[in-house]
Structure 1
């Protein structure tokens, strides 16, 4: 794992991303600079700028369609589907870019540049992906010290299974080696080179002292790291172990120490993003309003009380996707798979997440942010706050249209789902950064495109 601005990123995926961006840049620049008007000194500068722009756009599109997701990299079919989707998006972006150039028709220079960009991009990605597949490290081993593996160790090491959340499925499968006692046996194993593991998972049994500094130093000298189960969950699965959180853990969370400059910058980004979203989707919003009116009786928009920053209530705006009397008697109910209360057009709106777009109005009003925990209803907040430890800690940041839990876990419809989503929300609270926000926005595109976790 590599710590990048406070967020744990798998080192090989980070390397793949950087290698791919560099390969695209070199391939596009070589094709552009080899012939045509790009052969002059001014042309070389233009070629370098176009190659750098292409590499950046390709990297963002690849991230948006999930080409850097561990689960995608693990399967050929998922890689092909994501790659095809990314290619279509790049073609559309190329056509749009040409439409904004001067002139009514495509010039030979523009045609040459477009062909070079597409060929260079395809060749670079093919080479880097093939190299990644061939050079990918083998199955990793985790040695457990001081006791038996935790109950979820086998599940975590099992790799890809359909019934696990995407973030857990994305962790590269590993093999749990024999349990070793912390002491002389470990020292002998390290000295003789018999303990060949990627990471040391330190299991501290109840009543036992933590792993000593001497053991950690011995492992570090052998190129191994020591993680407690909670640290392994945080770094490996990118969520927090709720049971291990101390009462005052929020004091060290990044989201609890947002300065004025950062708060102003984030607010400007929220306004820009929400305003752009509404303007770009205006034709779609008008068609959606008409479809809702034609499909069923009732208002177009749905207003509902939700809990926001510091547990303050606000009114949330969404497109109505259920029948008007969905909650007879005013009793709040969890949404379920195949919910009969959802209208015909409402089911489509939920699958495509179009029903969420009006929340941009809440962002402009300051009730929400673009990125943050999902805003919940007061009834559920009161119920879950009594059952789940640290549930109210998520209110230290504004709720968001999308968030770390939303892109890593399917739609929650139970207390256990809420507990799991909270572990992702609190990871975001602890490690919030602009880079993590960007990764969440890219992940949101993937979730919408492939309809992950929709109900």
Structure 2
């Protein structure tokens, strides 16, 4: 599992980029960025302890690296790198290749199941939020191959790239972990159409509820 990122350049094969409309333009964006910096930093401080604990648990359960990184597609098709705590067995995709998320995935470890239910595996991405590659709230970034494939199968799927990808998003709190790409696109578009402080605050609160209660991986 994981990808070799040494030769990852600033370009990817992304024919979908030319179909993306202009970036979302709203006076709220500067406030949204301030929100990301302040709350991203405040969240990362206690999260670093949680990350350390689960680094130990991941290595205790299965051999391999604690973290893995993947190429993802960010704002307006810009390539970014997303880092997570490893929730699958090492080299889980060596034979199957990239597979869309599904329920009862036998590639996921026991610790991984818990991390996914509570989203603990996503905590390292707080650094990407602070850096500016991601936002706390926004459409989840997808892998290049999925983004290109779905932009052909589901008209408008690429429009979710008009805003920075998020650590959590409207589709994550209102859809299942294995949500259909078409439905995911619709939910993300709803977020883009209604983006604002009230929307972000509600998603933030809903995300905390999922983390605290473990009410299903999304």
Same fold (TM over 0.5): yes
Taking CA–CA contacts closer than 8 Å with sequence separation of 6 or more, which of the two structures ends up with the larger relative contact order? 2
Partner of 1:432: 195
Paired with 1:402 and 1:427, the residues of 2 have a C-alpha distance of: 15
When residues 423 and 453 of structure 1 are mapped into structure 2, their CA distance, relative to the original with a 3 A threshold, is farther
Find the aligned partners of 1:257 and 1:406 in 2 and give their Cα distance: 23
Distance in 2 of aligned mates of 1:422 and 1:288: 32
In the TM superposition, structure 1's runs of 4+ consecutive aligned residues that sit over 4 Å from their partners are: none
TM-score (structure 2 length as normaliser): 0.85
Distance in 1 (CA, whole Å) between partners of 2:114 and 2:216 is: 14
Instruction: Tell me which residue corresponds to 2:4.
Output: none
**Residue 71 (structure 2) aligns with:** 305
Match of 1:397? Answer: 163
Give the 3 Å change call, closer, same or farther, for CA 337–428 of structure 1 in structure 2.
same
1:364 corresponds to which of 100, 116, 130: 130
Superposition pairs for residues 31-70 of structure 1, below 5 Å? none
Corresponding residue to 2:26 among 251, 258, 261:
258
- Matched residues in 2 for 1:352 and 1:453: separation? 8
CA distance in 1 between partners of 2:80 and 2:61 (Å): 28
Q: How many residues align?
A: 199
What TM-score comes out, normalization by structure 1 length?
Answer: 0.42
Deviations 1:335-354 (A, max 9, x none): 22121111121111111111
2-structure distance, mates of 1:393, 1:335: 21
2:37 corresponds to which residue?
Answer: 271
- Give unmatched runs, 5+ long, in structure 2: 1-20
Structure 2 partner of 1:338 = 104
- Which residue of structure 1 aligns with residue 204 of structure 2? 441
Q: Secondary structure at the match of 2:140?
A: coil
Distance 1:412 1:267 in 2: 29
Q: Which runs of 5+ in 1 are unaligned?
A: 1-249
Which structure carries more helix by proportion?
Answer: 1
- Matched residues in 2 for 1:362 and 1:420: separation? 26
Please give the root-mean-square deviation of Cα atoms over the aligned residues, in Å. 1.9
The SS at the match of 1:358 is helix
Whole-Å Cα distance in 1 between the matches of residues 202 and 75 of structure 2?
22
Computing the radius of gyration from Cα coordinates, the structure with the larger value is 1
Q: In the alignment, what sits opposite 2:173?
A: 407
In the alignment, is the contact (CA less than 8 A) between 2:67 and 2:86 conserved in 1? yes
Is 1:314 aligned to 2:77, yes or no? no
